[in-house]
Chain A
Amino acid sequence: MYWACQLAGWLPYAALNSVYAVGVLHGGAPAVVFCLWLSAVGLALSHALRNQIRARGWAGLPLLGLAPRLLATGAVLGLLCNAIVTLPPLLLGYESSRRVTASGLVLYSVNLAIVFTAWQLIYFGVKFMQRSRRAELEHWQLEAAARAADLRALKAQLNPHFLFNSLNNVRALIAEDPQRAQAMVTRLANLLRYSLASATAETVPLQQELEIVGDYLELEGARLEERLRVRMDVAPECLPLPVPVMLVQSLVENGIKHGIARLPRGGQIEISARLDGPAMRLEVSNTHGPEADRVSDRPAGSGTGLANAAERLRLLFGEQASLQLDRSARELTTARVRIPTHR
């Protein structure tokens, strides 16, 4: 594209000059040759300029830094061009030295300087447009990627298996225990609303997270009945402290999905939180079957989920925050979260 522009610029320039030389100044063939020669020199000099611009990275300069360079270069190139263009014809005798005057040279230099300044303006103008188009494209691509990631995260959070089972259970309860059914619908609505809101919020007070976890456990209780036992041991001073949204919820969900739901006799979920010096220690433990004790038997996908959660913790609370899975005890998995109370 650069060469197209160069030719589209210098050739018409030569043509214009020729028209002027022949039509107004009544020059002949030598005048046309001169005009072509002028354009050729202009092309060569501007090409050299372009290489310099690239080498020195002028295209990235702000307006304030660019302007003096632009003007200075224009002036220098104007003079240079004038010298290159005017001298040979003089030396070769095409142009009589009488016709060359100091003011004429100066004027012509200024003329050429303007041409080269204009050239630079066009060059930088085009470069600028290209950049802003590219930046806009990148911006939209990032937006699209972010939306896609949001959607994926949302889909992962909604847990369709849990959702449809809950709906089925609520439907059953309508006949058996209408009031309980009503309570279940409320809890389900709370859970869904929280899931959707979690896309935007970053942290919530532990109390709010535990309320939703409570709703979730009630819903799972309707499904698993006596197979789910819950124990909560949360120190009151931990309740207002911020935690990443959906962290405890997803730990509890995993514990039930991979541990308790797989046991015919069921199991126990235990949630505890207490202050320990400069940090809060949050633990979610669940019992599971003996076959899950084998390290190689990790359910697919839980590795990345945990890695993401740990990463989110670090981003929100700094390097002192951590999430670790403790599987050392038999038939028990404990997720240990450490959140510093001040950064």
Chain B
Amino acid sequence: MKALIVDDERLARAELKRLLAVFPDVEVVGEAANAAEARERLQALAPDLLFLDIEMPGGTGFDLLASLDEAPAVVFTTAYDAHAVRAFEVNALDYLLKPIDPRRLAAAVEKVSAAHRARAPAPGAGAGSGSYLERVFVRDGERCFFVWLRDVPLLESEGNYTLLHLGSHRPMLGRSLSYLEERLDPRHFFRASRRHIVNLQCIEGIEPGPGSQLVVRVRGGLEVEMSRRQSQRFKELMSP
């Protein structure tokens, strides 16, 4: 696994690098001292794992993640921040307290490794290297967490933002619907209309609507009316 260390303190980065040296399947491919550098390194190196310090000048770790397209696996680090730690626990995010206990680090690395192995390996492609968008990091008021897009039945346009319909809550993603359409796997996501993208794996029923339009019902009970053109395309796609 390729790892990127993001921390504004050089000594903290050096210390984590030293600790990670004992893990044969973790290779530290780069470092960043702030959010801007991190963004650039993420783009260039496409790491699988991100060690992210929360307290950084000019933008916290959460801000950085929310601004990314694809969110790689993240382990947060902090010296002491009661608020951040509460956020980590509430959202079941992985975190480590500095000075990092090597045993805790081992547990975190193992967890990420396991998840990494379990995912269908895309040969030669890591996160953010051009493969389809699978996981995003969203902020929902005080909460922030990762969302697997395959679990989102419906995406709705809100100007330059997109609402993810997740049943009880609807977090907002800082990307337009059209932008997402280009990054999502067309085998699983279908642009139903100007306002909606439907997750084909979450469809529960399709009924004919007014005119030749189709009305799709997705998991969670939401109903979406397809535009005439898209209804046509849908029928074409579904016909054998």
A residues neighboring B (CB under 8 Å): 160-161, 163-165, 167-169, 171-173, 175-176, 222-225, 261-264
Q: Tell me if A225 and B79 are in contact (CB < 8 A).
A: no
Q: Tell me if B80 and A164 are in contact (CB < 8 A).
A: yes
Q: Tell me if A160 and B9 are in contact (CB < 8 A).
A: no
Q: Tell me if B15 and A171 are in contact (CB < 8 A).
A: yes
User: Any chain A CB within 8 A of the CB of B141?
Assistant: no
Q: Per a CB cutoff under 8 Å, which of A168, A224, A261 touches B98? A: A168
Q: Give Cα A222 to B57, complex, Å.
A: 16
Chain B 69-120 interface residues, beta-carbon cutoff 8 Å to A? 79-81, 97-100
B residues neighboring A (CB under 8 Å): 8-12, 14-15, 18, 34, 36, 55, 57-58, 79-81, 97-100
Q: Give Cα A171 to B19, complex, Å.
A: 11
Chain B residues with CB under 8 Å of A168's CB are 11-12, 15, 79, 98-100
Q: Tell me if B81 and A223 are in contact (CB < 8 A).
A: no
Q: Tell me if B12 and A172 are in contact (CB < 8 A).
A: yes
Q: Tell me if A169 and B57 are in contact (CB < 8 A).
A: no
Chain B residues with CB under 8 Å of A262's CB are 57-58
Q: Give Cα A164 to B97, complex, Å.
A: 9
Q: Give Cα A172 to B98, complex, Å.
A: 11
Q: Tell me if B99 and A176 are in contact (CB < 8 A).
A: no
Q: Tell me if A175 and B18 are in contact (CB < 8 A).
A: yes
| Given A161-B79, A168-B99: A261 touches B11 (CB 8 Å cut-off) | no
Chain B residues with CB under 8 Å of A165's CB are 9, 12, 79, 98
Chain B residues with CB under 8 Å of A172's CB are 11-12, 14-15, 18
The smallest beta-carbon distance between B94 and chain A, in angstroms, is 18
Chain B residues with CB under 8 Å of A263's CB are 57-58
Q: Give Cα A42 to B55, complex, Å.
A: 79
Chain A residues with CB under 8 Å of B14's CB are 172, 176
Q: Give Cα A303 to B177, complex, Å.
A: 45
**Which chain B residue shows the least CB distance to A176?**
B14
Please indicate which of the listed interface residues B34, B97, B98 has the most CB atoms of chain A within 10 Å of its own CB.
B98
| Given A172-B11, A172-B12, A172-B18: A164 touches B57 (CB 8 Å cut-off) | no
Q: Give Cα A175 to B99, complex, Å.
A: 14
Q: Tell me if A223 and B58 are in contact (CB < 8 A).
A: no
Please indicate which of the listed interface residues A168, A223, A261, A263 has the most CB atoms of chain B within 10 Å of its own CB.
A168
Q: Tell me if B34 and A264 are in contact (CB < 8 A).
A: yes
Q: Tell me if B11 and A173 are in contact (CB < 8 A).
A: yes
The smallest beta-carbon distance between A282 and chain B, in angstroms, is 28
The smallest beta-carbon distance between A185 and chain B, in angstroms, is 13
Q: Give Cα A262 to B15, complex, Å.
A: 22
Q: Give Cα A263 to B33, complex, Å.
A: 12
Q: Give Cα A223 to B12, complex, Å.
A: 8
Q: Tell me if A223 and B11 are in contact (CB < 8 A).
A: yes
| Given A172-B14, A172-B18, A262-B57: A167 touches B34 (CB 8 Å cut-off) | no
